[in-house]
Amino acid sequence: MKKGGLTSFIILAMIVGIAVGYGVNWRAAETGNAQLVVTFSKNIKLLTTIFLRLIQMVIAPLVFTTLVVGIAKLGDLKTVGRVGGKAMLWFVSASLVSLLLGLVLVNLTHPGTLIDLNEVNRLSQSKETVEAAGKVVANAKGFSLEDFVLHVFPKSVFEAMSTNEILHIVVFAIFFGLAAAAMGDYAKPVIKGLDAAAHIVLKMVSYVMYFAPIGVFGALAAVVAEKGLKVFVFYGWYMLAFLGGIVALWIVLVGVGFLILRKRMVPLLRHISNPLTIAFTTTSSEAVFPKLTEELERFGCKNKVVAFILPLGYSFNLDGSMMYMTFASIAIAQANGIPLDLGTQLTMLLVLMLTSKGIAGVPRASLVVVAATCAMFNIPAIGIALILPIDHFCDMFRTATNVLGNSLATAVVSKWEGELEVNQQP
């Protein structure tokens, strides 16, 4: 299924789900049969459950393989030295700014409060599950020091993978990647195998997305059956708030670019305008990798710098995606009525800082990271299927932002190293 075809099916599923859900909502109101909504929502949400379980199925292998390969490649920093250090300084700084911007924005706009998913969750859950979920909401609080230690350090990587304890997997992957990098050539076959496995898992993610229309249909039919057409108020405000965040992030990135590159910033934007357009329309950063490499070299960046910085940026510098993941995760918590104090939100931010690596190649793969983060913080995952109908449009903007961020990183590091040539092709 081509990407455009999948998007069309998602939109069609959204329309059909809304129509079916509204039909049930209208029928229940006309007949006074509230049980109709209960039964319908419980059964139709099984379709969403199928999709969400398929997403959860690939979380552990995706995080482990992509993070190990990305960290193992940092072994090149020993030969590149100063260049790599400056690149990582930029990546970490830009990532934190993006994540913090998403966190601030979602707390100012509160998009999730416009729709209450608690009632929808109760319609399709047993009495015991509802009681357990109620306790989670009632006792929601920040992590204690003991909670932090238990959630960071794993006692078994196999237990972590079987339960999707994402931070445990991240810690193991960091140690594994660092050890592999330290062993040099001896570990290369393992890293090559994990790199292939990472691409296989990313391909699986694209296959899982084929079930997205089913998940969208089930989620929207259930929500509209319960809430009516008020769901569109949520969609409108959610998209508007996110676009406000994208504009703010572009202002920050371009502003910093002007401070460092000065007059060269305008030529840089001109050179990357075509890759930005392609990334925006295809929602894939990888689709523009060859063209972006060519344009950055034409702009004046040396080939050796581009060849090192750009691949690293694709794993460690996803500014638009990281802003969105903070925004989406907390918005889903808001929709489920789960309060998150500042300490918990900052913990979530740090988790996303680590788990957002290596997802640039597959459209909507950021939803897998959001699903993992929600699971770690006991947030019901139905919100992922709820935001999926507009996720394609959000993905267009965040992918273009990723390309801008990586282009800036390459140009800035080139200038810091005195490797940015002046007289280049227009």
pLDDT of residue 314: 74
**How large is the average pLDDT for residues 167-196?**
84
Does this model's pTM top 0.85? My answer is no
pLDDT for 290-324, tens place per residue?
A: 678 888 888 888 877 777 777 777 767 888 888 88
Q: Retrieve residue 373's tokens.
A: 């983060």
pLDDT for 371-415, tens place per residue?
A: 777 777 888 766 777 787 777 678 878 888 988 998 999 898 888
- Write down all domains in the chain, each with its CATH number in brackets: 3-416 (1.10.3860)
Q: What is the spatial distance between Cα 102 and Cα 320, in angstroms, rounded to a whole number?
A: 9
pLDDT of residue 254: 93
Q: Which of the pair, 362 or 303, is modelled with greater confidence?
A: 303
Q: pLDDT band for 149, please (50, 70, 90 cuts).
A: low
The residues facing 420 across adjacent strands are 301
What is the overall mean pLDDT for the chain?
Answer: 77
| Dihedral of the alpha carbons of 23, 29, 30, 36, in degrees to the nearest 10 | 70
60 Cβ contact partners less than 8 Å away, ≥ 6 residues apart: 160, 161, 164, 166, 169
Q: Which of the pair, 327 or 422, is modelled with greater confidence?
A: 327
403 contacts 292 by C-beta, under 8 angstroms: yes
Q: Which of the pair, 209 or 128, is modelled with greater confidence?
A: 209
* pLDDT of 266 over the 70 cut: yes
384 contacts 45 by C-beta, under 8 angstroms: no
pLDDT for 79-105, tens place per residue?
A: 445 677 788 888 888 888 998 999 999
Token pair 């990334």 in the structure block, residue: 279
- H-only helix segments in 125-211: 127-138, 145-152, 157-163, 166-183, 188-208
Q: Which of the pair, 47 or 63, is modelled with greater confidence?
A: 47
The residues facing 301 across adjacent strands are 420
* pLDDT of 253 over the 90 cut: yes
**How large is the average pLDDT for residues 275-299?**
76
pLDDT for 113-137, tens place per residue?
A: 877 766 555 444 444 434 433 443 3
361 contacts 65 by C-beta, under 8 angstroms: no
Q: pLDDT band for 250, please (50, 70, 90 cuts).
A: very high
Q: Retrieve residue 336's tokens.
A: 């489920």
Which of 374, 11, 16, 10 lies closest to 224, judged by CA? 16
